[in-house]
């Protein structure tokens, strides 16, 4: 009987167009919107690209111009465009360059003109400062120990690296990924509406189907379990579809632990279903109110996990860390984050453990509310 | 005014859901405006990097390097444990991690200067380039002094002195960047709230009036069709004004005197025009909804869609060039642009660019209203 009821419950879920919209179309639309709005953020704003600059000087080969040429050829730090002063300003205004270096032919003084303050503009300022400092250094050495000037000049010309750069991780350090993790979390939690419908199909005073089931010969629990199992299965498939769409169609780097990501989707889906089921069995409010409550909870929970504001989970971690330990969307998103960022699976299993505990608590609470429920009349 | 009264009776029936959504959205708006304000204030303090540094060196050069970095960047302690460190780098709380080894000064003085320091960063990021460039230039200067025959202490002191040299930097436009007020952040999230509230409120009522049997019965009643439509329209406008008023009261409580300044009045007009636009969007959306559940879905699609595409949830600066071009086709983009421009003006005479954005929102309202009319007419003909 379990598998027959399970099969029909699956059919029932598939045939509901609205459920399909919320679980398939909505995450696809939202994921595509995310990718459109901040998909290229890291590539465009975080990763270093050669900085386009304009060099304006009446002199053909000014000292600073030579320095820029060296930086362009040796270290690929800048991309220099020589232009007249007015043209250079125009290039800056149009956004074709990020800064303009103007060298006075008589004094050799250099001025940097920028349109805004940013990391690239600060790097350009550092180049200018380094130029000024080298002049000051030679002046000091010339005054204090003139014999050392030659050695200092050799050292200045020499290509030498003082830093041994290492990377903290090979994984993507794009904090906007939080938005995608929260989206997967939201898809799992959308199961709350399916859990709610499982509850209304179980409570005889809620729907006629439940009333019919209540008078059937079989035990109510044996009818409930296949229904819940089918709902969890379908919700897992929807969440898995979202993960596949984000990874393979949109090309979002969610992480490499595919199997564990799907396990998270499964546990997250079960959590979503159990939340909806508990809401469904508590009190005698109308279906509309309970559905609103489920959607409201899903939205608020997703908000705190970073769906609408990407660093939200981090802010909550700083001011109310306990909330992150019980907020379902944060637990799902943090599990996925842990898989991508950390080298060990400890934090991942901690989040998964919290989710399992929540499922058990919700399941127990629901069971206590519906056990030995009898109806005199419906 | 029977239909006008019925309009609010239907709304009253759905008040539980509406009040719940209002409470959720109000708290979200207030929370988000609070969070955004705090974040922005931190961001605009400068472009100095957050460098986590551990100086294990006992010599002078390590101390000089630490002092130098501290002058232009914020120095922090390295978080304990790899996970905490990764979290901090992931969320942009740390741009660079530097460990100065125990024997750094000794080795540097002895001439062993290649790759002495341990630096960790997000590979290839602009901020790591900046941090490394600054450190390398300090060490290069110290290296030059040591090569020229200076003692380690003198090399460190002179290098520190040289580092005080400043470059002359000018801005292309001398205008000072706008400082965003609390009012800016409160009004920033209004498109999401208004679109959702209008679709859920007005949509449910119009959907009821569009019920086939009810609509047929109303058409053969004594009240002329035009008057019926006007009464429903009046109901919509009153509901819209009521939602607008609630948010203005909230804005008054949240932003103090802001509403009574020229900027506040411009923000209020911006919000009012967007409320009209949201009303038109709800009129358009309701034509495609078969029941309230679909309306609920549509409120989320339009609310979140406009918010993500239009720069409400994601700053416009973060969006790529193509996305910004696409964003011009949603009304929330023009609302956000107007909201930003409002912060740059001090009077109504300077608000030319803002009026253009207002006009764009009005045009979108007309477009959605006309599209809604067309869809409605086609539906009627289909019947």
Share above pLDDT 90 across residues of chain B, in percent, rounded to a whole number:
17
Closest by CA position to B109, among listed B49, B64, B43, B42: B64
pLDDT attached to residue B268: 94
A155 to B143: CB separation less than 8 angstroms, yes or no: yes
B136 to A131: CB separation less than 8 angstroms, yes or no: no
Q: Provide the pLDDT confidence category of residue B42 given band limits of 50, 70 and 90.
A: very low
Residues of B in contact with A111 (CB under 8 A): 168-170
Q: Which residues 115-154 of chain B have a CB within 8 Å of chain A?
A: 115-130, 132-137, 139-141, 143-145, 147-150
B122 to A300: CB separation less than 8 angstroms, yes or no: no
Q: Which residues 271-310 of chain B have a CB within 8 Å of chain A?
A: 292-294, 296-297, 300-301, 304-305, 307-309
Over 60: is that where the pLDDT of B177 sits?
no
| A74 token code pair | 């040796």
Closest by CA position to A239, among listed A272, A284, A203: A272
pLDDT attached to residue A275: 96
Helix (H) or strand (E) holding A113: strand A110-114
Q: What is the mean pLDDT of residues B126-144?
A: 87
Q: Is A80 helix (H, G, I), strand (E, B) or coil?
A: strand
Q: Is A94 helix (H, G, I), strand (E, B) or coil?
A: coil
A156 to B144: CB separation less than 8 angstroms, yes or no: yes
The 10s digit of each residue's pLDDT in A318-336 is 888 999 999 999 999 999 9
pLDDT attached to residue A144: 85
Domain A48-157 has CATH 2.30.30: no
Q: Which residue of B has its CA nearest to A152?
A: B144
- Residue burial B150-176, b: 16+ Cβ < 10 Å; e: rest: bebebbbbbbbebbebebebeeeeeee
Please tell me the least confidently modeled range out of A98-102, A125-129, B79-83, B314-318. Answer: B314-318
The more confidently predicted of residues B370 and A45 is B370
| Nearest Cβ partner for A166 among B119, B135, B141 | B119
B47-162 adopts what CATH topology? abc type-2 transporter like fold (3.40.1710)
A46 to B86: CB separation less than 8 angstroms, yes or no: no
Measured in angstroms, the CA of A167 and the nearest CA of chain B are apart by 5
The more confidently predicted of residues A83 and B25 is A83
Q: Provide the pLDDT confidence category of residue B33 given band limits of 50, 70 and 90.
A: low
Over 80: is that where the pLDDT of A122 sits?
yes
pLDDT attached to residue B43: 35
For chain A, the domains span: 2-39+176-370, 48-157
- The C-alpha angle B98, B101, B107, rounded to 5 degrees, equals 125
Q: What is the mean pLDDT of residues A124-145?
A: 87
The 10s digit of each residue's pLDDT in B11-22 is 888 777 677 767
Closest by CA position to A342, among listed A182, A219, A171, A141: A171
Q: What is the mean pLDDT of residues A40-61?
A: 77
Please tell me the least confidently modeled range out of A101-110, A160-169, B256-265. Answer: A160-169
Q: What is the mean pLDDT of chain A?
A: 86
| Nearest Cβ partner for A167 among B32, B120, B313 | B120
Over 50: is that where the pLDDT of B45 sits?
no
Q: Which of A117, A122, A159 to mutate to probe the B interface, most B CBs <10 Å?
A: A122
Q: What is the mean pLDDT of residues A26-42?
A: 80
pLDDT attached to residue A43: 66
Residues of B in contact with A148 (CB under 8 A): 147-150
Q: Count how many pairs of residues, chain A against chain B, have C-beta atoms within 8 Å.
A: 267
B308 to A156: CB separation less than 8 angstroms, yes or no: no
B172 to A113: CB separation less than 8 angstroms, yes or no: yes
Over 50: is that where the pLDDT of B46 sits?
no
Q: Provide the pLDDT confidence category of residue B383 given band limits of 50, 70 and 90.
A: low
Determine contact, residues A48/B125, Cβ cutoff 8 Å: yes
In angstroms, how far is CA B10 from the centroid of its own chain? 35
User: How many Å apart are CA A265 and CA A243, to the nearest integer?
Assistant: 9
For chain B, the domains span: 2-41+179-382, 47-162
| A123 token code pair | 């790097």
A296 to B39: CB separation less than 8 angstroms, yes or no: no
The 10s digit of each residue's pLDDT in B290-315 is 777 778 778 888 888 898 888 888 77
Q: Is A266 helix (H, G, I), strand (E, B) or coil?
A: helix
Measured in angstroms, the CA of B369 and the nearest CA of chain A are apart by 24
Please tell me the least confidently modeled range out of A366-370, B101-105, B180-184, B219-223. Answer: B180-184
The 10s digit of each residue's pLDDT in B310-344 is 888 877 877 777 778 888 899 999 999 999 889 88
B126 to A123: CB separation less than 8 angstroms, yes or no: yes
pLDDT attached to residue A229: 95
Q: Provide the pLDDT confidence category of residue A208 given band limits of 50, 70 and 90.
A: confident
CA dihedral B303, B308, B314, B319 (to 10 degrees): -160
User: How many Å apart are CA B209 and CA B113, to the nearest integer?
Assistant: 81
The 10s digit of each residue's pLDDT in B263-276 is 999 999 999 999 99
Q: Which residues 92-121 of chain B have a CB within 8 Å of chain A?
A: 92, 97, 113-121
A119 to B319: CB separation less than 8 angstroms, yes or no: no
pLDDT attached to residue A378: 60
Residues of B in contact with A147 (CB under 8 A): 148-149
| Nearest Cβ partner for B120 among A109, A151, A166 | A166
Determine contact, residues A354/A323, Cβ cutoff 8 Å: no
pLDDT attached to residue A170: 61
φ, ψ of residue A156 in degrees (nearest 5): -60, -40
pLDDT attached to residue B216: 85
Residues of A in contact with B148 (CB under 8 A): 141, 145, 147-149, 151-152
Over 50: is that where the pLDDT of B41 sits?
no
Q: What is the mean pLDDT of chain B?
A: 83
Please tell me the least confidently modeled range out of A242-246, A256-260, B297-301. Answer: B297-301
Q: What is the mean pLDDT of residues A222-229?
A: 90
User: How many Å apart are CA B82 and CA B120, to the nearest integer?
Assistant: 12
SS3 sequence of chain B: CHHHHHHHHHHHHCHHHHHHHHHHHHHHHHHHHHHHHHHHHHHCCCCCCEEEEEECCCCHHHHHHHHHHHHHCEEECCCCCHHHHHHHHHCCCCCEEEEECCCHHHHHHCCCCCCCEEEEECCCEHHHHHHHHHHHHHHHHHHHHHHCCCCHHHHHHHHHHHCCCCCEEEECCCCCCCCCCHHHHHHHCHHHHHHHHHHHHHHHHHHHHCCHHHHHHHHCCCCCHHHHHHHHHHHHHHHHHHHHHHHHHHHHHHHHHHHHCHHHHHHHHHHHHHHHHHHHHHHHHHCCCCCHHHHHHHHHHHHHHHHHHHCCCCCCCCCCHHHHHHHCCCHHHHHHHHHHHHCCCCCHHHCHHHHHHHHHHHHHHHHHHHHHHHHHHHHHHHC
pLDDT attached to residue B32: 64
Q: Which of B304, B314, B322 to mutate to probe the A interface, most A CBs <10 Å?
A: B314
B137 to A109: CB separation less than 8 angstroms, yes or no: no
Q: Which residue of A has its CA nearest to B295?
A: A18
Determine contact, residues B33/B186, Cβ cutoff 8 Å: yes
Task: Give the relative orientation of helices A328-341 and A258-281 as an angle to the nearest 10 degrees.
Answer: 180
pLDDT attached to residue B168: 81
pLDDT attached to residue A313: 87
User: How many Å apart are CA A293 and CA B277, to the nearest integer?
Assistant: 28
The 10s digit of each residue's pLDDT in B229-257 is 889 889 999 999 998 998 898 888 877 78
**Rama region for A112: left / alpha / beta (φ>0; ψ in -120 to 50; rest):** beta
Range among A109-113, A249-253, A262-266, B326-330 rated most confident:
A262-266
Over 70: is that where the pLDDT of B102 sits?
yes
pLDDT attached to residue B277: 95
A18 to B304: CB separation less than 8 angstroms, yes or no: no
Measured in angstroms, the CA of A2 and the nearest CA of chain B are apart by 31
Task: Flag whether residue B162 sits within 8 Å of chain A, measured between CB atoms.
Answer: yes
Starting at the earlier edge strand, list the strands of the sheet with B96-100.
Answer: A163-167, B117-121, B96-100, B50-55, B74-76
Residues of A in contact with B91 (CB under 8 A): 175, 311, 314
Determine contact, residues B11/B205, Cβ cutoff 8 Å: yes
Residues of A in contact with B130 (CB under 8 A): 119, 122-123, 126
Q: What is the mean pLDDT of residues A89-93?
A: 87
B171 to A113: CB separation less than 8 angstroms, yes or no: yes
Residue bearing tokens 């995310």: A34
Q: Which of A88, A163, A306 to mutate to probe the B interface, most B CBs <10 Å?
A: A163
Measured in angstroms, the CA of B311 and the nearest CA of chain A are apart by 8
Q: What is the mean pLDDT of residues B185-207?
A: 86
Q: Is the dihedral of CA A165, A170, A175, A176 positive or negative?
A: positive
| Nearest Cβ partner for A34 among B21, B144, B308 | B308
pLDDT attached to residue B273: 96
Share above pLDDT 70 across residues of chain B, in percent, rounded to a whole number:
90
Please tell me the least confidently modeled range out of A36-40, A231-235, A343-347, B283-287. Answer: A36-40
User: How many Å apart are CA B59 and CA A65, to the nearest integer?
Assistant: 37
Over 80: is that where the pLDDT of B24 sits?
no
Q: Which residue of A has its CA nearest to B299?
A: A26
CA atoms within 13 A on the CB side of A31: 29
| C-alpha to C-alpha distances, A105 to A89, A171, B170, B312, nearest whole angstrom | 18, 49, 18, 48
As a whole number of Å, the CA-based R_g of chain B is 30
Determine contact, residues B117/A163, Cβ cutoff 8 Å: yes
Q: Which of A25, A70, A133, A338 to mutate to probe the B interface, most B CBs <10 Å?
A: A133
């Amino acid at each position: 009987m379990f598998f027959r009821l399970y099969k029909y419950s699956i059919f029932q879920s598939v045939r509901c167009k609205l459920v399909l919209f919320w679980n398939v179309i909505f995450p696809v639309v939202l994921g595509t919107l995310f990718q459109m709005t901040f998909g290229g953020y890291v590539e465009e704003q975080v990763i270093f690209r050669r900085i386009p600059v304009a060099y304006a000087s009446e002199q053909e080969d000014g000292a600073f111009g030579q320095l820029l040429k060296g930086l362009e050829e040796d270290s690929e730090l800048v991309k220099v465009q020589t232009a007249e002063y007015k043209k250079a300003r125009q290039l800056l205004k149009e956004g074709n360059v990020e800064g303009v270096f103007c060298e006075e032919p008589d004094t050799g003084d250099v001025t940097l003109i920028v349109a805004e303050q940013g990391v690239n503009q600060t790097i350009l300022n550092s180049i200018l400062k380094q130029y000024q400092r080298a002049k000051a250094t030679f002046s000091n050495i010339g005054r204090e120990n003139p014999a050392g000037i030659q050695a200092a000049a050799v050292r200045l010309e020499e290509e030498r690296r003082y830093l041994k750069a290492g990377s903290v991780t090979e994984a993507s350090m794009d904090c906007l990924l939080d938005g995608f993790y929260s989206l997967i979390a939201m898809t799992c939690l959308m199961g709350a509406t399916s859990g709610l419908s499982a509850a209304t199909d179980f409570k005889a005073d809620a729907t006629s189907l439940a009333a019919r089931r209540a008078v059937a010969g079989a035990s109510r629990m044996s009818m409930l379990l296949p229904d819940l199992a089918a709902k969890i299965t379908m919700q897992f498939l929807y969440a898995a579809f979202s993960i596949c769409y984000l990874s393979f169609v949109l090309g979002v780097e969610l992480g490499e632990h595919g199997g564990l990501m799907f396990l998270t989707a499964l546990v997250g889906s079960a959590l979503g279903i159990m939340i909806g089921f508990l809401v469904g069995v508590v009190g005698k409010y109308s279906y509309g109110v309970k559905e609103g409550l489920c959607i409201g909870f899903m939205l608020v929970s997703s908000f705190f996990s970073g769906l609408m504001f990407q660093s939200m989970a981090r802010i909550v971690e700083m001011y109310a860390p306990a909330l992150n330990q019980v907020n379902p969307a944060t637990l799902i998103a943090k599990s996925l984050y842990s898989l991508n960022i950390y080298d060990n699976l400890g934090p991942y299993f901690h989040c998964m453990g919290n989710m399992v505990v929540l499922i058990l608590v919700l399941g127990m609470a629901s069971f206590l509310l519906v056990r030995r429920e009898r109806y005199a009349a419906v | 005014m029977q239909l006008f009264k019925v309009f609010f009776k239907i709304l009253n029936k759905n008040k539980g859901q509406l009040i719940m959504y209002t409470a959720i959205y109000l708290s979200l708006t207030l929370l988000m405006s609070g969070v955004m304000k705090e974040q922005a204030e931190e961001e605009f303090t400068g472009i100095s990097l957050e460098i986590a540094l551990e100086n294990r060196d006992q010599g002078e050069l390590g101390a000089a390097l630490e002092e130098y970095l501290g002058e232009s960047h914020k120095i922090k302690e390295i978080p304990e444990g790899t996970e905490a460190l990764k979290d901090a780098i992931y969320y942009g709380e740390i741009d660079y991690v530097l460990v100065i080894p125990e024997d750094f000064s000794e080795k540097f003085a002895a001439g062993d200067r290649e790759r002495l320091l341990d630096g960790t960063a997000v590979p290839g990021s602009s901020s790591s380039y900046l941090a490394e460039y600054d450190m390398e230039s300090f060490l290069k200067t110290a290296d030059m002094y040591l090569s020229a025959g200076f003692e380690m202490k003198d090399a460190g002191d002179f290098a520190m002195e040289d580092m005080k040299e400043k470059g002359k930097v000018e801005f292309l436009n001398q205008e000072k960047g706008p400082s965003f007020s609390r009012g800016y952040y409160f009004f920033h999230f209004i498109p999401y709230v208004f679109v959702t509230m209008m679709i859920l409120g007005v949509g449910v009522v119009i959907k009821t009036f569009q019920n086939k049997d009810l609509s047929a019965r109303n058409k053969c009643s004594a009240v002329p069709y035009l008057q019926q439509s006007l009464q429903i329209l009046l109901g919509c406008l009153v509901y819209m004004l009521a939602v607008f008023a609630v948010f203005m009261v909230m804005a008054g409580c949240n932003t103090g005197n802001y509403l009574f300044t020229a900027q506040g009045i411009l923000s209020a007009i911006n919000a009012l025009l967007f409320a009209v636009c949201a009303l038109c969007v709800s009129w358009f959306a309701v034509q495609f909804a078969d029941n309230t559940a679909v309306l609920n879905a549509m409120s989320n699609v339009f609310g979140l869609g406009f918010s993500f595409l239009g720069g409400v949830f994601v700053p416009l600066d973060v969006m790529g060039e193509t996305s910004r071009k696409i964003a011009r086709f949603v009304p929330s983009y023009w609302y956000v642009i107007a909201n930003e421009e409002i912060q740059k003006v001090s009077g109504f005479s300077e608000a030319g660019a803002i009026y253009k954005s207002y006009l764009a929102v009005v045009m979108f309202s007309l477009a959605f209203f006309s599209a809604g009319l067309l869809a409605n007419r086609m539906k009627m003909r289909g019947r």
